[in-house]
Structure 1
Amino acid sequence: MSRHAHPTVPTQVRLCQGCELPVDIVELKRGYSADCPRCGTQLYRSDNYSLNGNLALAITCLLLFIPSHFFDFITIRLVGMMIEGTLIEGIFALIREGYPAIALLTLFCHTIAPLAMCGSVVTAHIALKRRWFKTLKYSLSILSHSRNWVMLDVFLISVAISCFKLQDYSDIYIGHALYSLVILQILTIVMIGRVSTRRYWEAWKPESDLPVLKKQVHCHNCHLSQPEGTQCLRCGKDLHHRKPHSIQKTWALLVAATIAIFPANLIPISILITNGQRLEDTIFSGVASLITNDMLGIAIIIFIASIVVPVAKIIGLAYLLFCIQFDKVKNHRFEMTIYRGVKWIGKWSMTDLFVISIMLTLVDRGQILNFTPGFGAVAFGVVVILTMLAAETIDPRLLWDRYNAKSSVEPNNKVEK
């Protein structure tokens, strides 16, 4: 639902972080956010959430990590044995099988990144209270980078997929930790939606206390628009009109991901041994097997997450780079939509790797039934990392460099509830 707020007199100008359009900053009613009238990027939102609420959420999440990660989230009865699965056991199982890189990647996405996000909120509050500048700076830097790698929602989808795969081999029981994981996921979604690094920097030193006559460059660390300079007036971060070597870095990551996607799809990603029979599955054959076993819904999810999404990310990023380098940007809003879409869908490619981790935790019973990753899983993990990094290195402001801006901008921005 969208509508127009009834703002007061404009107070100052801020550069849009998506297209660098100077926009008048106005006071909004509670529950509203202001979007850039040109590119649609959210500029700011009203102070509807208290910082103390963020702290309470972060502490609650940290407490939930203990039961959700160290107790069983699922238990199966396999060949007369009760097997309990925990998140940490899945990491150890991957290491034992000789896949430490995949173990580290899955651990980072479902444990380290959420822990870093919650911990950085707590340390940011301590830094504000104690007036520790460096602690605040590093905490907010960790917060802004870790939130994009929090994938508890993807892990929960992977648990559901694993249960469907195992239902033909075993009886499945929900563990207590799964309830903690669901609550933890809900709270992390709420926290990601409400935590803003800009608000913490405003609590440290309000933008109104840094009066400047010209707004020529935008700091992407603390989101302060300011005159030309080498370092930010508020956070001390190096200032750049564009991310340094953005195009070159993105092309390098994209080419590497394109090369890695071939072995990721051609080499078996998982190996299941049942009754002495060895079944090797690539991503494609795994999808086909699910369809054969009347699991069409799961097959569609795996096909989209493991095949469509990585390819779409590579094509989408290549299209944006082509538009930037050859001046082919025609519909700027459309290109910005592609950019936001590529950033959003990136994490869902982790579904297959999470499924492998869960299956390896539960199905490792020697000669009767055994499950192990294939080398295709390593290549697939490389694709996931490279495409997510490529989405971070590309600078969307490059899409607007040759855009003929209007001579004047209306101060009343479109806002959304």
Structure 2
Amino acid sequence: MQNVPLSDRQINHISRCGECDALVAVSHLAKGEHAECPRCHHDLQSADRWSLKRCAIIALSILILMPFALNYPLLSVDLIGSQVNASIWGGVWKMATEGYPYTAFLIFLCTVFMPIAFALLVILLQLAKLTRQKPRNLLMAIDYIKPWVMFDVYLVALGVTAFKVRDYAALSFDVYLIAFLATALLNTLLFAKINPKELWNDFYPQHLKLSEISAENPPHFCSSCDYTFEHPIKDHKGKERCPRCHNEPHKAAEISLQQTWAALLAGIVMIFPANMFPISYISMSNIPSGDTLISGVISFVNMGSYFVAFVVFFASIFVPFSKIIIMLYLLFSIHFNWRHSIKWQMRLFHIVHFVGRWSMLDLFVLALMMSLVTRGQIINFSVGPAAIYFGLSVFLTMIATTTFDSRLLWKIYDERKST
């Protein structure tokens, strides 16, 4: 980013920052530049991103590769003289048909439905741009779907499964793993280059000018699409709506906090049985043994796989508990007006928002293990009762981070500065 004085350039529009609620004048951006909030350094607009056309080409490539990545074998084991294959769809289907449909559904959402829907939406947005349509519903959908695309997490789960299975049978990788790796790489690129908030500006540009605002007429802001506007529109019931996404632009702080608390408390309730009950069972020669989350980490340590033990511990134990602790701290900071460092609080919030999805690692490992080592009376693998609780805890805490309004922290900071 180049630091160019605003007075030397024409102001393009006025925008509110979605993270700290600061009112910022955004100038015209040259290629390679991006505009950030001078107070919290949140990116407001960028000219350093891929075109929607290029993203659509990547999305089309993902859809072409997806059948090979999902339905064909990624790993194979030689188990008691017979070859057993593992695929993404095979693991989900086996889990669903052997008595664990709810856990299978959570995995299906993150590894099958959401990645396909995400790629389709990018292509549909490009078609809408070519036909000069205003794809309001598509933009809302891609904003909701993006956090739940977890192909990169599944890639790590594949490596963990390989380490876990090698103690029971000879392991080999199939040629279709190349398709999966390519799909995972393209998904990661698309995930990094697509910003739903920026896409809104492509179809519905920000246009509020400095002359249109005053102390008597402060601009309105919609947190759903990051739109700053002069006057809201009203629906048939007389409720104010954002003129861009048609959502309610003004969500009361009490409602936002209630939504975050509800999701977080439900996630806390789920985390206890997730850690107390076994998450998986392995039976060898009719001798069953159950593994909890922590005992699974200990078994990797005993095998000498310290790096894998660290990855599993980080994703399955450290991240879920630290995410809950951080979210509780941020919520208590708002309720009790704790005047701590705002930079530290925002840094914690960004970290917890980024790492939360990696907790799904354990469920992906379970799905792969289900398709690899479930083989009758000699060796049998099954999912434990903790799996569904763990998956629900991950989902609920992710919802809590998305509903949390960081502007409430900045409001406390502003009140401290004014006193």
Query: Considering the TM-score relative to the shorter chain, is it more than 0.5?
Result: yes
Deviates more, 1:314-323 or 1:166-175: 166-175
1:180 Cα deviation from its structure 2 partner? 1.3
Q: Residue 218 of structure 1 aligns to which amino acid in structure 2?
A: F
CA shift digits 1:96-141 (9 cap, x unpaired): 22111110101111111111111111122223333443xx111111
Alpha-carbon offset, residue 239 of structure 1? 1.1
Unaligned runs of at least 5 residues, structure 1: 408-417
Amino acid at match of 1:356: L
* Equivalent pair of 1:272/1:369 in contact (CA under 8 Å): yes
Kept in 2, the 8 Å contact 1:242–1:397? The answer is: no
The alignment status of 1:247 with 2:257, answered yes or no, reads: yes
Q: Does 1:217 align with 2:220?
A: yes
Q: CA deviation at 1:241?
A: 5.3
1:139 equivalent in alignment to 2:138: yes
CA distance 1:128–1:199, change in 2 (3 Å): same
Equivalent AA in structure 1 for residue 226 of structure 2:
H
The correspondence of residues 337-348 of structure 1 with structure 2, limited to 5 A, is: 337-348=347-358
Q: Return the TM-score normalized by structure 2.
A: 0.91
Q: Residues 6-36 of structure 1, C-alpha deviation per residue, up to 9 Å, x if partnerless? A: 7633332211010110111023332232221
Is the CA contact 1:5–1:32 (under 8 Å) kept in the aligned structure 2?
no
Flag the 1:240–1:176 CA change in 2: closer, same or farther, 3 A: farther
State the match for 2:230 in structure 1.
227
Cα distance in 1 for partners of 2:315, 2:69 equals 25
Partner of 1:318: 328
Deviation string for 1:256-293 (max 9, x for gaps)? 22122111111010000012211111111111122112
Distance 1:242 1:120, change over 3 A: farther
Q: Which amino acid aligns with 2:221?
A: H
1:146 deviation in Å?
A: 1.0
Aligned length: 404
**Aligned residue number for residue 192 of structure 1:** 191
1:88 is matched with 89
Aligned pairs (5 A) from 1:30-49: 30-46=31-47, 48-49=49-50
- From 375, 390, 395, the counterpart of 2:385: 375
- Does residue 177 of the first structure (1) align with residue 176 of the second (2)? yes
Shift of 1:185: 1.6
Report % sequence identity.
31
Change (3 A) 1:86 1:121: same
2:271 match:
261
Residue pair 1:16, 1:22 contacting (<8 A) in 2 also: yes
Q: Which amino acid aligns with 2:407?
A: R
Q: Could you tell me which residue of structure 1 aligns to residue 236 of structure 2?
A: none
Query: Whole-Å Cα distance in 2 between the matches of residues 249 and 208 of structure 1?
Result: 31
The partner residue of 1:356 within 363, 366, 378 is 366
Structure 1 residue 289 corresponds to structure 2 residue 272: no
Asked if structure 2 preserves the Cα contact closer than 8 Å seen for 1:6 and 1:28, the reply is no
Instruction: Give 1:204's aligned residue.
Output: 203
Does the CA-based 8 Å contact 1:212-1:227 persist in structure 2?
A: no
Q: Is the 8 A contact 2:253 2:408 kept in 1?
A: no
Please say if residues 154 and 361 of structure 2, whose CA atoms lie closer than 8 Å, have aligned partners that are also in contact: yes
Q: Does structure 2 retain, via aligned residues, the 8 Å contact 1:329–1:399?
A: no
Pairwise CA RMSD:
2.2
Quick one: which amino acid aligns to residue 335 of structure 1?
Answer: Q
Residue 107 of structure 1 aligns with which residue? Answer: 108
CA deviation vs aligned residue, 1:320-364 (integer Å, no higher than 9, x gap): 000011111321111111111111111111111111100001001
Instruction: After TM superposition, give the deviation of residue 3 of structure 1 in Å.
Output: 5.9
Provide the TM-score with structure 1 as the length reference: 0.91
Q: 1:411 maps to what in 2?
A: none
- Contact between 2:121 and 2:138, CA under 8 Å: does it hold in 1? yes
